A and B are shown apart, each in its own frame.
Chain A
Amino acid sequence: MSTQQPLLAVAGLGKSFGGLRAVSDVSFGVMPGEIFGIIGPNGAGKTTLFNCLSGLLPLSAGAVRLDGRRIDGMRPHDICRLGLARTFQIVRPFHGMSVLENVKVASFSRHPSSAAAEHHARLALGRIGMAHLADLDAERLSVAEMRRLEIARAIATEPRLLLLDEMLAGLTATEAAALCEQIQRINAEGITIVMVEHSVPIISQLCGNAIVLNFGELLASGTTRAVLADARVQEAYLGSALS
């Protein structure tokens, strides 16, 4: 299987804001079917990287390929249609809508008719265990439920690749464990996942491969175990966390 083409290939990605280099020369590949981790301290450029991948920010350098096709420079909605979906670290529900309507917005991208969109939105809510909350106003959800709503909306766009931005931050241990299980189930259903996370135990539990970012640069990449064992990684970022 070593000849298999990566689903997501990032080559030499750079992003500057004026004179500030937020991300520079980051390259990695994500194979179809895996759960891929991105680790790094606050301000390492993880969210900027996600914003570049999903088209919310233009790149300053480099290229992004989804299944061999260049997607950098495309508008976010076009990238979404090609099969790349994302969640936001700071949840962004549509306040004026119910939970079901929130997800319906996303499923409209694949199903133009209202009835079909609603049907698939209900399916997506069911997959994430939120079917019973469908008619609630989105703004009345708890933080953990809003995170799951983010995921439900993202999978309702029927992606091949799902980018999860710090889904587990701020959740209780029970909530986090439940969400981890759901992430694994979504992955088992055929969606490749790239996740940004702070918690090292969770990354090592879920992710086969990972990269570490530090000050916008790639510090290490490879299997999660090798990456976490890397002396530079331990020194730069994890030193206290692992000891």
Chain B
Amino acid sequence: MLRRFLPALVPTLLAIAGFCFSLSDPYFMEIFIMVGLIGTVAVAWNLMAGFTGLVSLGHSLFFGIGAYTVAYGQVGFGLGPLVTWPIAALLALASALFIGLLCFRYGLRGYFFSIATLAFSEVAFLLVSATLWLGRSDGMMLPSSPETLRYLQFDHKWPYGLIIVGFLALTLFLSQAFLATRPGFYWRAIRDNEGAAEALGVPAMRYKLLAFGLSAVVTAIGGAIFANTFAFVDPRSTLGVELSIQLLVFGIIGGLGLLWGPLLGAALLIPAGELLRTYLGAGFHGVNIVAYALLMIVLALLLPQGLGGVLAARLRRRAPKKQAAAGKALAVEAAP
């Protein structure tokens, strides 16, 4: 039981350690919040991309649904997270099922699925950017209120960090619970060969929708937390394609086939981006972005399986030696 949840437990403990460390400085806490939030959303994205083989390029849609539901819920109706978060989750679930049914019904796979999801998120981006009551491209401020807990408004950043630790832990354990049981096996079978999976009794459509729905709900909660944490939403930071690309990059650099891979990617690349901005950004304009791009190219060339893939292979190499030896002994016994 403990062993099964190790891939969720270890990152959670590391995140708690990172949170405690970040308590020393509000700047660190801000970085921790971005790593935890975007990293967790990347984990949810990876349930589809890494485990089911459905590479979404439009996950900002669900993030934006979460962020804007919280923002408009408070601005328009005075609703707090207790109401807006569940609504955000439901809206994201409904959108995912709609897009999923449409795409899977017409057999969109591979790149075509990715392009379709990108198209949906871009349409949402343009719609919101042009909608007056959602603040157009200027975005919306969440009005401050004395009711701290009802609207999750705190003077410091650390309570948000704490919420994100909870969000991260919940997502990791929930995902691992799925991955270690039937859905996880079915997802990987669909990823590896959908036709063979179906012939072996895997209802592919249903399980693809399950992955899509789960991933979208977690992403929307991430967007909702974003809105509450920064008390501000705008199309570019919550619905833009940059966010979707970020998830892809963290996944690829961290390791696609691993639950915690994208989290590792975020934990490495977000602080690296900040460091480069601090130390290089003051000089030539844009030098830090060039350096960041170079870092990603080097990582992608050196570690095609992602940083996590290399780490996992190291860890695995120790254990199965015993197993392989045992297997050989068995084979020798069975031979004569």
Enumerate A72-102 residues with CB–CB distance to B below 8 Å: 75-77, 80-81, 85-86, 88, 92-97, 101
Binary flags per residue of B318-332, CB closer than 8 Å to A gives 1, else 0: 001001100100110
Q: Does B262 reach chain A (CB closer than 8 Å)?
A: no
Q: Specify which chain B residues have a CB less than 8 angstroms from the CB of A56 in the assembled complex.
A: 195, 198-199
A55–B188 Cα gap in the complex (Å)? Answer: 21
Enumerate A143-178 residues with CB–CB distance to B below 8 Å: 153-154, 156-157
A141–B334 Cα gap in the complex (Å)? Answer: 18
A97 adjacent to B202 (CB under 8 Å): no
Contact with B199, one of A54, A113, A132 (Cβ below 8 angstroms): A54
Q: Does A19 reach chain B (CB closer than 8 Å)?
A: no
B200 adjacent to A109 (CB under 8 Å): yes
Q: Specify which chain B residues have a CB less than 8 angstroms from the CB of A109 in the assembled complex.
A: 200-202
Q: Does B109 reach chain A (CB closer than 8 Å)?
A: no
Residue of B nearest to A114 (CB): B181
Q: Specify which chain A residues have a CB less than 8 angstroms from the CB of B197 in the assembled complex.
A: 94, 105
CB distance from B122 to the nearest CB of A (A): 31
Contact with A105, one of B186, B323, B334 (Cβ below 8 angstroms): B186
Q: Does A193 reach chain B (CB closer than 8 Å)?
A: no
A135 adjacent to B320 (CB under 8 Å): yes
A92–B327 Cα gap in the complex (Å)? Answer: 24
Q: Does A215 reach chain B (CB closer than 8 Å)?
A: no
Residue of B nearest to A79 (CB): B199
A77 adjacent to B203 (CB under 8 Å): yes
A76 adjacent to B186 (CB under 8 Å): no
CB distance from A96 to the nearest CB of B (A): 6
CB distance from B279 to the nearest CB of A (A): 40
Contact with A77, one of B202, B330, B331 (Cβ below 8 angstroms): B202
Contact with B182, one of A93, A96, A112, A156 (Cβ below 8 angstroms): A112
A132 adjacent to B330 (CB under 8 Å): yes
B193 adjacent to A92 (CB under 8 Å): yes
Q: Does A117 reach chain B (CB closer than 8 Å)?
A: yes
Enumerate B193-230 residues with CB–CB distance to A below 8 Å: 193, 195-204
A136–B326 Cα gap in the complex (Å)? Answer: 12
Whether A75 contacts B202 in the complex (CB less than 8 A), given A132-B331, A135-B327, comes out as no
Residue of A nearest to B323 (CB): A135
Give the B interface residue count (CB, 8 A).
28
Q: Specify which chain A residues have a CB less than 8 angstroms from the CB of B334 in the assembled complex.
A: 132
Q: Specify which chain B residues have a CB less than 8 angstroms from the CB of A94 in the assembled complex.
A: 188-189, 192-193, 196-197
Residue of B nearest to A138 (CB): B192
A85 adjacent to B199 (CB under 8 Å): yes
Q: Specify which chain B residues have a CB less than 8 angstroms from the CB of A85 in the assembled complex.
A: 199-200
CB distance from B326 to the nearest CB of A (A): 9
Enumerate A104-157 residues with CB–CB distance to B below 8 Å: 104-106, 108-110, 112-114, 117, 131-133, 135-136, 153-154, 156-157
B331 adjacent to A108 (CB under 8 Å): no
Q: Specify which chain B residues have a CB less than 8 angstroms from the CB of A88 in the assembled complex.
A: 196, 199
CB distance from B107 to the nearest CB of A (A): 13
Q: Specify which chain B residues have a CB less than 8 angstroms from the CB of A132 in the assembled complex.
A: 327, 330-331, 334
Interface centre among B189, B204, B331 (most CB of A within 10 A): B189
B200 adjacent to A153 (CB under 8 Å): yes
Whether A75 contacts B200 in the complex (CB less than 8 A), given A133-B327, A135-B323, comes out as no
Q: Does B191 reach chain A (CB closer than 8 Å)?
A: yes
A101 adjacent to B331 (CB under 8 Å): no
B201 adjacent to A81 (CB under 8 Å): yes
A92–B196 Cα gap in the complex (Å)? Answer: 6
Enumerate B278-336 residues with CB–CB distance to A below 8 Å: 320, 323-324, 327, 330-331, 334
B330 adjacent to A117 (CB under 8 Å): no
A96–B256 Cα gap in the complex (Å)? Answer: 12
Residue of A nearest to B331 (CB): A132
Q: Specify which chain A residues have a CB less than 8 angstroms from the CB of B195 in the assembled complex.
A: 56, 76, 92
Residue of A nearest to B329 (CB): A132
CB distance from A21 to the nearest CB of B (A): 23
What 8 new A-B contacts, CB under 8 Å, besides A56-B199, A86-B199? Answer: A76-B199, A77-B199, A93-B192, A97-B192, A108-B201, A132-B330, A135-B320, A157-B200
* B interface with A by C-beta (< 8 Å): 180-182, 185-186, 188-189, 191-193, 195-204, 257, 320, 323-324, 327, 330-331, 334
Identify the 9 closest CB pairs spanning chains A and B, nearest first: A109-B201, A92-B196, A94-B192, A80-B201, A76-B198, A132-B330, A106-B200, A105-B189, A92-B193
A selection of 18 A-B contacts at a CB cut-off of 8 Å is A56-B195, A56-B198, A76-B199, A77-B198, A88-B196, A92-B196, A94-B189, A94-B193, A95-B192, A96-B188, A105-B185, A105-B200, A108-B186, A108-B201, A110-B201, A114-B182, A156-B200, A157-B201
